[in-house]
A and B are shown apart, each in its own frame.
Chain A
Amino acid sequence: MSNNAKTREPLFHVVKRTKTNFPFWKSALIRVLAIVLGLIVCGIITFIFTKLNPIDVYKAMLNGAFGFDKVKNFAATSDKSYLTIFITKNRNLWSFLQNSAILLCISLAVTPAFKMKFWNIGAEGQVLVGGLATASCMILYGDKLPPIALFPLMIVCSLAASAIWGVIPAIFKAFWNTNETLFTLMLNYVALQLVSYFCYIWSNPKGSGKIGVINQATEAGYLPTLGDNPIISKYLFNILVVIGITIFMYVYLKSSKHGYELSVVGESENTAKYIGVNVKKVIIRTMILSGAICGIAGFLLVSGTDHTVATDTAAGRGFTAIMVSWLAKFNPFAMILTSFLLVFLEKGAGEISTQFGLNKAFSEIITGIILFFIIGSEFFINYKIMFRGKEEK
């Protein structure tokens, strides 16, 4: 204590930041810097390995997500304004929004569970069983029931199937305290095998192992298109449904008694018990909700866009959703931005491989680097690095 001068301070040490001394703009700045740095590193790597101009590569990514080139082509032959064409004839834009919507829907589904510190990594499976239930209704009842009976049946079945898939690990967790991470992960594989089994049973043509487009001639069980525009009408329904879910989830988490209870359970189970919250009930109820929203995603995927079910219907979104939810700190509106970001990276990566004839693996490297920087930046937002000699205030 007395010989302060002799203790050697380390070169730097890490200090946790508090909310009060760290304004929002600073964290936003760190995030932007991280993305810029990530892009620079990607640029260097792109140049070293492919000798392509990195700016062209980034342009291609923007193009993939927002279709600028195609809009330019259309605009050249039409007398409508650029903006009108950008919105009405731009499939890339709408497909981007629609994909973001589905990813957002699944992210919203896992969020209440995460807030409760229930590590549900089974969204992939929950979406798959929901999709399978929808597809089964379309195959079995597509030509037997009128739309007015078919749609409610499809919705009820998909919600129920996914809710059951979600509630099984919740019941085990609530009553026997089993590990929900392993349980939900394992159920993904069960769902995957279940879907493969039915793909075999209903494969068309027989033996091909693929169901193919269901009810292609009658379009029974296809979500209705909204409006006359051939492009927008296809994608709009999904987007509207997900906007509704986003608002619902924001209110549910922020202002409802359920939302409050589940965040108390997440902070401390003992506190929750102390103030009279029925922890078992909250866990089970939250996972039913979580599963049911995954069911909506499965329903939208099968009835709205794919019109078939396959083992890759969820396409890894159940796992990407975890990242979307965490990056947004469980805020439903911030999740809109994070799902945009992830879908943008994915669409952009696809465009790179098309435009430059590069293998898909290369675009995955780029996506990986950018994500690494974004996730890494969270460290600098949560912690401060103090260098030797500078006084901590």
Chain B
Amino acid sequence: MKKILAIVLSLVLVLGLFAACGTKTPSEGDGNTPVPAEKLKVGFIFLHDENSTYDKNFIEGAKAACETLGVEYIQKTNIPETNECYEAAVDLADMGCSLVFADSFSHESYLMQAAKEYPDVQFCHATGTQSHTSDLTNFHNAFAAIYEGRYLAGVAAGLKLNEMIEAGEFTADEAKMGYVGAYTYAEVVSGFTSFYLGAKSVCPTVTMDVQFTGSWYDETQEKEAATKLINGGCKLISQHADSMGAPTACENAGVPNVSYNGSTKSVAPNTFIVSSRINWEPYFEHIIYCVLEGKEIDNDFVGTIGTGSVELTEVNEDVAAAGTVAKLEEVKAALEAGEIHVFDTATFTVDGKVLDSYMADVDTDEAYTPDTEVVSDGYFHESEFRSAPYFAIKIDGINYLNEAF
């Protein structure tokens, strides 16, 4: 027994010695001390893996940004929105990451918990709402003005509807779109409202049905929801959920589809029109650059169509209406110039009335107290008071088929 103990102890000692002469200092940086590129490790936490269009979009942007700036890329995929996110974040910090990023909405509170414990590490979070009200100086939110992209995608959808009406497939009054959404909160509502307004700007009689699935990634449910919408008379489908479910259902039924997160042409070559997406590369380059230079990271970063953070994929000309590309260029230029506002209150009504005032819950609190007036100068100021969307109003013309989520 003693012999074994002696062997074990001496092994431990030897290992300890090895370790002591092994590697050098782990890189530790904070917002103010620059970290050299060869020492900078960036850790990424993803909700799913490349099989989800949402995460794929982040993963590709993250890899590209790390490569451009020559820093080490570490990923953790399939991290659920539970304590596992906290564990993953502190694990990355322990591994020597000076910058940790998480990509899903409900990762936020776990990431903040990790930020509290590692004040020298910068934590960035996409789609969250709490950094502008939190005391943490090393926790930051980011989003993009994706409503601009959705609006453009909506224009492409409206043009397609017009083409089908002209071809006599249905009458203008029957022009109804279907939308598969994940949850009922602002991120989704803002997305489909801007999409609807885009379509309405070219096809004034359009209406829209929305079916929620209660999950960001559930291929079967998304497919069923799309099929249900198609059977309910929807002539065109779009979605805000991350699987290939809705595009596949559209391809099977031969109904045109406007996608999200990236091109889904590979599964739906005969029905895919165009897709809007957030390009996260500019944001990733911004945060990595800040850590490299020892500068402060933007607390509430909003990428726009002008900064290249919001993009449209290539238009599938086989499916899209003639002249779509030219029209999209024209509307895009007008958006960038500020001539068009997506949530222009002259273009929609709420319960039959014009929206002239709306107090949004910008500073998230548990009771969702509205705190900020966001309607002025004739439009709803989305993503201006914080990066994450707060447009959560049900406007006329959009009909919810279920509200269970």
A313 close to B15 (CB less than 8 A): no
| Nearest chain A residue, comparing its CB with the CB of B80 | A312
A71 at interface, CB cutoff 8 A: yes
| Nearest chain A residue, comparing its CB with the CB of B116 | A216
A14 at interface, CB cutoff 8 A: no
B23 close to A73 (CB less than 8 A): yes
A72 close to B83 (CB less than 8 A): no
Given A205-B364, A205-B368, answer yes or no on A353-B77 (Cβ-Cβ < 8 Å): yes
Give which listed residue, B19, B74, B113, contacts A71 with CB less than 8 A. B19
| Nearest chain B residue, comparing its CB with the CB of A213 | B109
Given A95-B87, A209-B405, answer yes or no on A75-B16 (Cβ-Cβ < 8 Å): yes
Q: Which of B31-39, B90-98, B152-160, B264-272 contacts A (4 or more CB under 8 A)?
A: B90-98
A82 close to B19 (CB less than 8 A): yes
Given A70-B94, A200-B404, A208-B183, answer yes or no on A213-B110 (Cβ-Cβ < 8 Å): yes
CA distance in complex: A353, B50 (Å): 13
B129 close to A76 (CB less than 8 A): no
CA distance in complex: A210, B91 (Å): 23
Give which listed residue, B23, B81, B90, B366, contacts A72 with CB less than 8 A. B23
A54 at interface, CB cutoff 8 A: no
Q: How distant is A215 from chain B, measured CB to nearest CB, in Å?
A: 10
Query: Residue-by-residue, is B299-341 near A (CB-CB < 8 Å gives 1, otherwise 0)?
Result: 0000000000000000000000000000000000000000000
From 103 to 148 in chain B, residues with beta carbon under 8 angstroms from any chain A beta carbon are 105-106, 108-110, 112-113, 117, 129
Give which listed residue, B15, B26, B81, B106, contacts A73 with CB less than 8 A. B26
B19 close to A310 (CB less than 8 A): no
B75 at interface, CB cutoff 8 A: yes
CA distance in complex: A360, B47 (Å): 12
B20 close to A75 (CB less than 8 A): yes
Give which listed residue, B22, B183, B364, B366, contacts A209 with CB less than 8 A. B183
A77 at interface, CB cutoff 8 A: yes
CA distance in complex: A205, B186 (Å): 10
Q: Which of A23-31, A113-121, A145-153, A301-309 contacts B (4 or more CB under 8 A)?
A: A301-309
Given A204-B366, A205-B368, A207-B185, answer yes or no on A212-B109 (Cβ-Cβ < 8 Å): yes
Given A205-B129, A207-B185, A359-B49, answer yes or no on A82-B105 (Cβ-Cβ < 8 Å): no
CA distance in complex: A210, B106 (Å): 7
A82 close to B20 (CB less than 8 A): yes
Q: Which residues of B contact A307 (CB under 8 A)?
A: 83
B231 at interface, CB cutoff 8 A: no
B16 close to A354 (CB less than 8 A): no
Q: How distant is B26 from chain A, measured CB to nearest CB, in Å?
A: 4
Query: Residue-by-residue, is A349-372 near B (CB-CB < 8 Å gives 1, otherwise 0)?
Result: 010011001011000000000000
CA distance in complex: A308, B80 (Å): 13
| Nearest chain A residue, comparing its CB with the CB of B90 | A91
Query: Residue-by-residue, is A183-211 near B (CB-CB < 8 Å gives 1, otherwise 0)?
Result: 00000000000000000100011111110
Give which listed residue, A95, A205, A305, A360, contacts B77 with CB less than 8 A. A360
B56 at interface, CB cutoff 8 A: no
Q: Which residues of A contact B74 (CB under 8 A)?
A: 354
CA distance in complex: A206, B184 (Å): 8
B75 close to A75 (CB less than 8 A): no
B353 at interface, CB cutoff 8 A: no
B12 close to A83 (CB less than 8 A): yes
Q: How distant is A358 from chain B, measured CB to nearest CB, in Å?
A: 9
A75 close to B19 (CB less than 8 A): yes
A77 close to B129 (CB less than 8 A): no
Q: Which residues of A contact B183 (CB under 8 A)?
A: 207-209
CA distance in complex: A81, B18 (Å): 12
Q: How distant is B133 from chain A, measured CB to nearest CB, in Å?
A: 12
Q: Which residues of A contact B405 (CB under 8 A)?
A: 200, 207, 209
A206 close to B16 (CB less than 8 A): no
Q: Which residues of B contact A357 (CB under 8 A)?
A: 75
A354 close to B185 (CB less than 8 A): no
A209 close to B214 (CB less than 8 A): yes
From 31 to 64 in chain B, residues with beta carbon under 8 angstroms from any chain A beta carbon are 49-50
CA distance in complex: A357, B109 (Å): 26
B252 at interface, CB cutoff 8 A: no
B185 close to A308 (CB less than 8 A): no
A91 close to B19 (CB less than 8 A): no
B81 close to A91 (CB less than 8 A): no
Which among B23, B106, B405 has the highest number of chain A CB atoms within 10 Å? B106
B20 close to A76 (CB less than 8 A): yes
Q: How distant is A54 from chain B, measured CB to nearest CB, in Å?
A: 22
A72 close to B368 (CB less than 8 A): no
B82 at interface, CB cutoff 8 A: yes
Q: Which residues of B contact A72 (CB under 8 A)?
A: 19, 22-23
CA distance in complex: A22, B405 (Å): 59
Q: How distant is A133 from chain B, measured CB to nearest CB, in Å?
A: 18
B25 at interface, CB cutoff 8 A: yes
| Nearest chain A residue, comparing its CB with the CB of B83 | A306
CA distance in complex: A91, B88 (Å): 11
A376 at interface, CB cutoff 8 A: no
Q: How distant is A16 from chain B, measured CB to nearest CB, in Å?
A: 36
A360 close to B49 (CB less than 8 A): yes
B77 close to A77 (CB less than 8 A): no
Q: Which residues of B contact A308 (CB under 8 A)?
A: 82-83
Which among B13, B49, B215, B364 has the highest number of chain A CB atoms within 10 Å? B49
CA distance in complex: A281, B143 (Å): 60
Q: Which residues of B contact A95 (CB under 8 A)?
A: 87
A306 close to B82 (CB less than 8 A): yes
Q: Which residues of B contact A76 (CB under 8 A)?
A: 19-20, 22-26
CA distance in complex: A92, B15 (Å): 18
CA distance in complex: A232, B112 (Å): 20
| Nearest chain A residue, comparing its CB with the CB of B63 | A357
| Nearest chain A residue, comparing its CB with the CB of B404 | A200
Q: Which residues of A contact B286 (CB under 8 A)?
A: none
Name 5 A/B residue pairs within 8 A (Cβ), A-sorted: A204-B366, A210-B81, A230-B117, A308-B82, A359-B77
Given A76-B24, A82-B20, A92-B94, list of 15 further CB < 8 A pairs?
A72-B23, A75-B19, A75-B20, A82-B15, A82-B16, A83-B12, A205-B129, A206-B368, A208-B105, A209-B215, A210-B105, A306-B82, A350-B76, A353-B77, A353-B78
Chain A residues with a Cβ under 8 A of chain B: 67, 69-77, 81-83, 91-92, 95, 200, 204-210, 212-213, 216, 230, 305-308, 310, 312-313, 350, 353-354, 357, 359-360
